[in-house]
């Protein structure tokens, strides 16, 4: 069964998505949602438990 959920970033909650600025959503073979954000990394949402794993790599770009 498919369901639609509303998720939002909460600074004090490490189990929230990393940003509200979502750029892409897709699903892997296991049914987990992969949510790409702008400047805040990739979030993997476990379809069974709803647990959210954040993977954020910060880069510094210097423009001269």
Distances (CA, A) of 47 to 10, 11, 18, 56, 61: 20, 23, 17, 20, 35
Residue 3 lies in a domain: no
Domain membership flag for residue 60? yes
pTM value is: 0.77
Residues in the chain: 64
Residue with tokens 């296991």: 30
- pLDDT number for residue 52: 93
- For the chain, first and last CA: distance in Å? 52
DSSP annotation of 39 reads S
Domain of 26 in residue numbering reads as 11-64
pLDDT of residue 2: 62
Number of domains into which the chain is organized: 1
Predicted local distance difference test score (pLDDT) of residue 5: 78
6 part of a folded domain = no
Q: What is the pLDDT of residue 43?
A: 94
Inside any domain, residue 2: no
Residue 33 covered by a domain: yes
10-residue block means of pLDDT along the chain (64 residues)? 77 89 94 90 92 76 55
């Amino acid at each position: 069964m498919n369901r639609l959920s509303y998720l939002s970033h909460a600074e004090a909650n490490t189990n929230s998505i990393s940003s509200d600025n979502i750029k892409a959503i897709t699903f892997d073979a296991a049914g987990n949602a992969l949510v790409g954000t702008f400047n805040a990394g990739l979030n993997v949402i476990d379809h069974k438990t709803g647990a959210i794993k954040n993977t954020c790599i910060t880069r510094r770009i210097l423009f001269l």
